Amino acid sequence: MATTPRLLLGALPLALRKLDPRVMWRNPVMLIVEIGALWTTVLAAGDVSAFAVLIAAWLWLTVVFANLAEAVAEGRGKAQADALRGAKKDATARRLTDWRPGADAAEEVVPAAELRRGDVVVVEAGEIVPGDGDVVEGIASVDESAITGESAPVIRESGGDRSAVTGGTKVLSDRIVVKITQRPGASFLDTMIALVEGASRQKTPNEIALNILLAAMTIIFLVAVATLQPVAIFARAGNPGVADTAALDAHGVTAIVLVSLVVCLIPTTIGALLSAIGIAGMDRLVRRNVLAMSGRAVEAAGDVDTLLLDKTGTITLGDRQAAEFVPVGATTIGELADAAQLSSLADETPEGRSIVVYAERAHGVRERRPGELAHAVWVPFTAQTRMSGVDLDGRRLRKGAASAVADWIREHGGTVAPELGGVVDGIAASGGTPLVVGEIAGGRARVLGVVHLKDVVKPGMRERFGHMRALGIRTIMVTGDNPLTAKAIADEAGVDDFLAEATPEDKLAFIRKEQEGGRLVAMTGDGTNDAPALAQADVGVAMNTGTSAAKEAGNMVDLDSDPTKLIEIVEIGKQLLITRGALTTFSIANDIAKYFAIIPALFVGLFPGLDRLNVMRLASPQSAILSAVVFNALVIVALIPLALRGVRYRPASAARLLRRNLGVYGLGGVVAPFAGIKIVDLLVQFLPGVS
């Protein structure tokens, strides 16, 4: 959004409200300016002159312009916050009592505001999801346009990593049962509103450190300016011929001049724009449908060295489907298809459901449902066993990772068919995922065969990872697949390295190892098993399609669920740091230039030799002071668009960025005051009381 005059005028009321000292104390530099403006106003009221009134007026404008920068940054998120509030409806919820999977439960209608974490609700087509939660039963098409701005509906289903639903979204088809995960008053929508309005923004460590530096510089200049009057009095005593009309005379104007000097010499430019830069950085993320839960995460994104990417759903399309059954040994294709279907009936993941459907459609296995098998004992998948299956009528079936199923068969006295390794390696080498099916029946343990799951690398991934490499970021693919499958996908996608057969503990250990080496780590994830690693990472980007546990663990949420968007997040983080550095360089150079522009003109009456340094030939000491104050205020307004838009980032080395910073903003900060003050001096020198 461009910074237009209408936008500036619209933010003016908020800027005026920020003049409250209880707000201003958070910005020490501008608080000093406000105190100086108040003091000069009192002095001007007691000794009315055009010079005093103009100085007081422009000091107040300096404070207002500083507040205006922050107000504009905050105001840019107001429209989006209003739109999000429109999505918060006073909905009711159909809460289920004593709900159990597959069983009927009584319903009661309650206000959505009364829902608590752990409550279970049912939502059908045409109804609004009453609160944030996870789908625990069913599958439905959901309209999330109120949250993401994307009109296309999305699928939300139980199991897997697409189970999370957000309060305020609308179910378009079918029926789902949702377990509420939000705390009262802390829904995802509430968090979004607070973030886009800037209400929950906290200062980042770098911002705090820079504020301390600016406060220290302010104190130094306060002390330096405070010594000017004694120096002037001493100089006047030693030079009786000095005219009484010198700027530093014995009248009340002296205090006004001193305040003006302080305001011109302390780092008011960066002090005025610092908060706006931070707010604008988070706003740029929001406009790309990314919510940063803290400014610290945005800064860390700018310094990321290592990026961990989950393979399924991130690098690949994520919807792995059964494509082939490969029997081994004496097993027939029919036996393998029947066993694969039985072991997958209670598997609610997309892969498990695809195996059931493939067995029915491709091999004619009759349709069965878990409820029909009353005596079945279902064995859920865990990250430790890496298997799932069923025990039924003396028959034990397991489906899972090749090594896990093979070890299970051997533990029960069975042997593994020699060709199994070749089949598994062949599927893995092609980039597919092999799932081995094993059986123990009649005292005999054996491997029946392999299920081939196919996955596809998303288009354009190699180019995007090449871009990350240019940014100096090392990309690591994390997957639970075996090393051969992982290597095939990694080579196709163009990542730098991979972590195969990774458990949640492996991911956590890898991140900690990288951080111990002094590197900043970013990770994207969407599953509950990603939550520990997302919490440990310096930048944890959770997908909006993911589970609630993942979104709570991360410090960013991508509403579009596009893991490759981390490239944009990193660039925005780098742009934030570069913008802050550029404007700080400009501000300090600006202050140095103003010092050499003002002091010679101001003291030429006391020290005639300084006339040689008065290169701009300013009309008078009063004109020099007023011109500097006016320029100091106007330069803040001129830099607001740059602070909000950000300095353009181009991948380059730190040394090259530093040279560019000094050459453009350092040199610009030196030249601009000389030109600006001279132009203002030409305009104000003819005003009464200034010449």
* Catalytic residue numbers, as ranges: 310
Return d(Cα 289, Cα 284) in angstroms, integer: 9
Q: Is there a binding annotation on residue 385?
A: yes
Helices (H) and strands (E) in the chain, counts: 25, 21
Strand order in the sheet with 377-379: 321-327, 444-454, 433-441, 395-400, 387-392, 377-379
Q: Is there a binding annotation on residue 383?
A: yes
Residue 621 tokens read as 């000491």
Q: Is there a binding annotation on residue 530?
A: yes
Q: Is there a binding annotation on residue 30?
A: no
CB 548 within 8 Å of CB 164: yes
472: region left, alpha or beta (phi > 0 left; psi from -120 to 50 alpha): left
Q: Is there a binding annotation on residue 487?
A: no
Helix (H) or strand (E) holding 324: strand 321-327
Q: What share of the chain is helix, strand, coil (3-state, %, to 5)?
A: 55, 15, 30
Q: What is the bridge-based pairing of β-strands 92-97 and 154-157?
A: unpaired
Residue 264 tokens read as 């011109």
CB burial readout 273-305, b (16+ within 10 A) else e? bbbbbbbbbbbbbbeebbbbbbbbbbbbbbbbb
- Directed axis angle between helix 28-46 and helix 268-287, to 10°? 130
Return d(Cα 525, Cα 279) in angstroms, integer: 26
- Residues ≥6 apart with Cβ < 8 Å to 608: none
Burial of 160 (C-beta count, 10 Å sphere; 0-12/13-18/19+): buried
In whole angstroms, how far apart are CA 216 and each of 22, 221, 267, 530? 21, 9, 10, 43
Where are the alpha helices (H) located in 387-436, listed in sequence order?
A: 402-411, 420-429
CA angle 31, 32, 37 (to 5 degrees): 95
Count the Cβ atoms, other than its own, within 10 Å of residue 47: 12
Burial of 654 (C-beta count, 10 Å sphere; 0-12/13-18/19+): exposed
Q: Is there a binding annotation on residue 229?
A: no
Q: Is there a binding annotation on residue 491?
A: no
CA angle 210, 216, 222 (to 5 degrees): 135
Q: Is there a binding annotation on residue 351?
A: yes
Residue 4 tokens read as 């237009």
CB 424 within 8 Å of CB 434: yes
- Residues at the binding site are 347, 351, 381-388, 399, 526, 530
- Residues at the binding site for ATP are 347, 351, 381-388, 399
- Residues at the binding site for Mg(2+) are 526, 530
